[in-house]
A and B are shown apart, each in its own frame.
Chain A
């Protein structure tokens, strides 16, 4: 299993799973048409609540990241990855610059990480409103 979830981080586990699948697609580790493991397998392998995995899969389907086919399973949606690796490359530069700027402000690694986590969670909540 390529995913790694931290149940104690305070970030909902389903959001962590969505973020990791998204990242895997963006970096090309998962390609359009690739099958995701069955829900019960993810639940058992990662010792996660099956309802939480189902919630992550629903969220990913809603976001157009994956396609759920009745009885067949979950597949990475077509047209997802191609343009993305370049965006990820560019993104890396943006993040690097931002992190260096935050360091210059005197923030340590933990503080930067928390800021990013919190900001992501806030944006996610705002988008739901």
Chain B
């Protein structure tokens, strides 16, 4: 028994001979808000769908809320999911969609539902097909939050939200974690959202997890380091391969101790100018855009 709400181990899956998941492994600690980030096609949606049992992996294993293996009906009562494609029944109005969903879940929170209809400005009488992208996203969140689930798995839950709605949704998630101790795993393209509310990060690239851990640790571990090449030196030392070069200046992201790094590099004619805390974007670009 671990304190991980989600455990993913060595998932592998191929489409047409191309690996969409390539030994994907990570943990999501209980009670955390975990941001799942990565470029398009990195395997975020596939991973979440495997967790929910909507897709299968060829090899590897998952465990959700301590239960090994694929999702069971009992487990589904404790987990809420918001999919990437936020379609709803075309024959229902928003209010009917809420009533329909409510019937499936014993732990449905009626008081929260009433509050969220107002807070998220859900137009109850509008047909689901007529809802804007942002309204659909908010309705899906209402449906997920009111179920009384312990774990929220949200695939791009904030896609299409305007800044006001985004702020409201973030406050809402934070409140759910503070009040009920739920665990949230959400995927997004917006690193700013992760920096704002997540305390845990899973960064994926080409079907694999490339950075994982507490956001505070990551903030302290990675630095943007600027170096200066000596006049007489023209080639870049092997240790700084791939760093951005601008004349005699070299800039890169490193998790090495800056003092030790400076000592190591001085003999090869490189001076470390400064090492400033790296933003998530710096770390992301370093791992993904190289």
Binding site for B on A (CB under 8 A): 7-14, 39-40, 43-44, 47-52, 55, 111, 114-115, 117-118, 121-122, 125
Contact = CB atoms under 8 A, between A and B. Distances in A.
Contacts of B196: 7, 47-48
B174 A49 contact: yes
Given A40-B179, A49-B198, A55-B216, A8 B167 contact: no
Contacts of B174: 43-44, 47-50
Q: Is the interface of B mostly helix, strand, loop or mixed?
A: helix
A53 to B, nearest CB: 8
A49 B280 CA distance: 16
Contact of A118 (B171, B195, B219, B276): B276
Nearest to A114: B276
Most buried by A among B175, B219, B279: B219
Contacts of A11: 219, 277
Most buried by B among A11, A14, A49: A49
B113 to A, nearest CB: 19
B31 interface: yes
B32 A51 contact: yes
B277 A8 contact: no
A72 B218 CA distance: 33
22 contacts: A7-B195, A8-B192, A8-B280, A8-B281, A10-B276, A12-B216, A13-B216, A40-B178, A43-B175, A44-B171, A44-B175, A47-B167, A47-B170, A48-B196, A48-B197, A49-B197, A51-B177, A117-B277, A118-B223, A118-B274, A118-B275, A118-B276
B220 interface: yes
B28 interface: no
Contacts of A125: 220
Given A9-B279, A11-B219, A50 B177 contact: yes
Contacts of A114: 274, 276
Interface in B26-44: 31-33
Nearest to B179: A40
B175 A40 contact: yes
Contacts of A49: 32-33, 174, 177, 197-199
Contacts of B223: 118
Q: Which 9 A-B pairs have the closest CB atoms?
A: A10-B277, A40-B178, A50-B178, A12-B216, A7-B195, A114-B276, A49-B199, A51-B199, A7-B196
Most buried by B among A12, A14, A51, A125: A51
Interface in B234-251: none
A43 B176 CA distance: 11
Place the interface of chain B in its size category. 20 to 34
Interface in B154-208: 167, 170-171, 174-175, 177-179, 192, 195-199
Nearest to B170: A47
Most buried by A among B175, B196, B274: B196
B24 interface: no
Nearest to B219: A12
Contacts of B178: 39-40, 43-44, 50
Contacts of A44: 171, 174-175, 178
A118 B273 CA distance: 12
Contacts of B171: 44, 47
A79 B198 CA distance: 35
B278 interface: yes
A12 B215 CA distance: 8
Nearest to A15: B216
Contacts of B192: 7-8
Contacts of B195: 7-8
